Each structure stands twice: as structure tokens, then as C-alpha cells.
Amino acid sequence: METLGFRIKRLRKQKGFSQKQLAEECGWSSQSRIGNYESDLREPNLTDLTLLAPALGVSIAELISGTNSQQLVPAQANLEPQILSRAPKKTAGVVKPIGPTKEGVVPVVGTAKLGMDGYFEALDFPVGHGDGYLHIYSDDPNAYGLRVIGDSMHPRIKSGEYVLIEPNKIYVTGDEVMVQTQDGRSMIKEFIYLRDGVYRFDSVNQDHSPLHLDQHDVSKVHLVGGILKSSRFAHDKPE
């Protein structure tokens, strides 16, 4: 039974790429990510799949196809059309978006430091209100924003940027999530799995080791729905 990692390795060799060359094609500075994927030590998230597939000369569907594709990315069948619908459409040299862009605002309710000693400073605002707002649409009525500081998710999330948290959304392997523990620690990590009552969370920054937490020690896991620059932040809610 061919795994996704084996498939990536096979396609890479067919292209005549070394692991380093494939990493460079994807815009990554280190080949270790390719090695981890090919060894099935880690599973590529959707963002990485959109880089790997064209570099390997196949579509995302072709890359993840196989007997275990549903286990790896259970939401892929629904996610890929959404990505395609957001892509700009070129007509006679003019780039036009497909469909109208939805506008909205999400309250910013605190600050999260990115690391094992991180924290989430809960500001007790009512739903829909907070310490400023992010100009972003979310169909999650309980969505909120956090300002993040620290380097444990660099370069994926940079210190001073904002993240959109969508607590009612489902998360899958490879998604970034905001984690809160029963003893008050909070952090933003990459969800890897929940297996035999134990969570595994990774950091994009390879200087930080994987984190394993007992399910009973975790009080909250919320999906990170987006990463936003500070230009999306406003102190006052637009009329």
C-alpha cells in the first residue's frame, strides 16, 4: 500500500530532483521537511500540498490519491474546490476575482505568546466586541482575533501579526490551532494527531520540539482560520 510519503519520493525521483532541489522548488530553505514527509514522520498540510503538487508536476488530487488519502486529509475533497474558487481569473490580460469578496469584522480579544511558556490574556468582552477589530469575514459567529508575539511559529506566523480563531470549525492534521491547557498554558501549534488519548502538536519552527499532551490536560483546541498583517487591525469598529 503506497503511502503519501512514498508517493512524494517516487514523484521526486521521476523528476530527477534531490530532496534539496525539491525543497528549493517549494521555496523552503531546508530539505528536512521533504525528508520528514517522505519518511511519513510528518504529514503535509494543505498549504504545503499546494506547493508540492506543482513542483512534482501533478495535481493536488493526484498527489494525495491512494488508499489512505481520506485518512490523511479527510476534508480535502471539500477544501480543494474552495481554493480554486478563490484563485484570480485572467481575461484578456486583466485579473478579475471570481465572485464578490465578503466583508466583515472580528473582535480582537487578547494576546497570545507563541511558545511553551505562552499565554492567552482573556479580555472579558461580550461576543462581537473586543480590544479592536480585524477586517476579515468569518461565518463562525464566535470567531475572534489574537495578536501574537514570539518566534515559535516563525516564519509561518511572525511576531506582531494577528490570527483569526474559529472555535466552531473542524481542524485536521496540519492545521494550526490555538491550544489551552488545564494549567493555564496557551500556545499556537500545528495539530498532528489525537491518538490513544494523547495529542501531538508541532511547531513550524524546527528549533522547538514536538509537544505531547494528555487529552485530559487540554481544555481547548481552536482552529486558526487565518493569519493577518497588522494593517487589517482597527481600534474602532467600522460603521
pLDDT in tens, the chain (239 residues): 578 888 888 888 888 888 889 988 888 877 888 888 888 777 788 788 888 888 888 887 778 764 333 333 333 333 333 333 333 444 444 444 445 556 788 888 877 776 655 555 555 555 556 678 888 888 888 888 888 887 766 677 788 888 888 988 888 888 888 888 888 777 888 889 988 889 998 876 667 778 899 999 999 899 988 888 888 888 777 66
Position 219 in a domain? yes
Tell me: do 40 and 145 sit in the same domain: no
Q: What gap in Å lies between CA 204 and CA 187, rounded to an integer? A: 13
H helix runs in 40-88, sequence order: 46-56, 60-64, 69-72, 76-86
Domain range for 15 is 4-94
Tell me: do 118 and 25 sit in the same domain: no
Position 131 in a domain? yes
CB 79 within 8 A of CB 176: no
Tell me: do 139 and 24 sit in the same domain: no
Position 100 in a domain? no
- What's the pLDDT score for residue 236? 75
CB 138 within 8 A of CB 104: yes
Q: What is the CATH number of the domain that holds 63?
A: 1.10.260.40
Tell me: do 54 and 113 sit in the same domain: no
**Could you tell me where the beta strands, DSSP code E, fall in 81-209?**
89-91, 94-96, 105-113, 133-135, 144-149, 162-166, 176-181, 186-195, 198-202
Strands 176-181 vs 218-228: parallel, antiparallel or unpaired:
antiparallel
CB 219 within 8 A of CB 167: no
Tell me: do 43 and 150 sit in the same domain: no
Tell me: do 120 and 229 sit in the same domain: yes
Domain boundary among 60, 94, 128: 94
Tell me: do 14 and 130 sit in the same domain: no
H helix runs in 73-161, sequence order: 76-86
Tell me: do 62 and 19 sit in the same domain: yes
Domain boundary among 49, 67, 94: 94
SS3 160: coil
- What's the pLDDT score for residue 39? 82
Domain boundary among 42, 59, 94: 94
Q: What is the CATH number of the domain that holds 190?
A: 2.10.109.10
Number of folded domains in the chain?
Answer: 2
Tell me: do 213 and 134 sit in the same domain: yes
Position 64 in a domain? yes
- What's the pLDDT score for residue 126? 55
Tell me: do 133 and 170 sit in the same domain: yes
Position 99 in a domain? no
Tell me: do 144 and 214 sit in the same domain: yes
Tell me: do 124 and 229 sit in the same domain: yes
Q: What gap in Å lies between CA 179 and CA 190, rounded to an integer? A: 10
Q: What gap in Å lies between CA 165 and CA 226, rounded to an integer? A: 7
Position 226 in a domain? yes
Position 239 in a domain? no
What's the pTM?
0.54
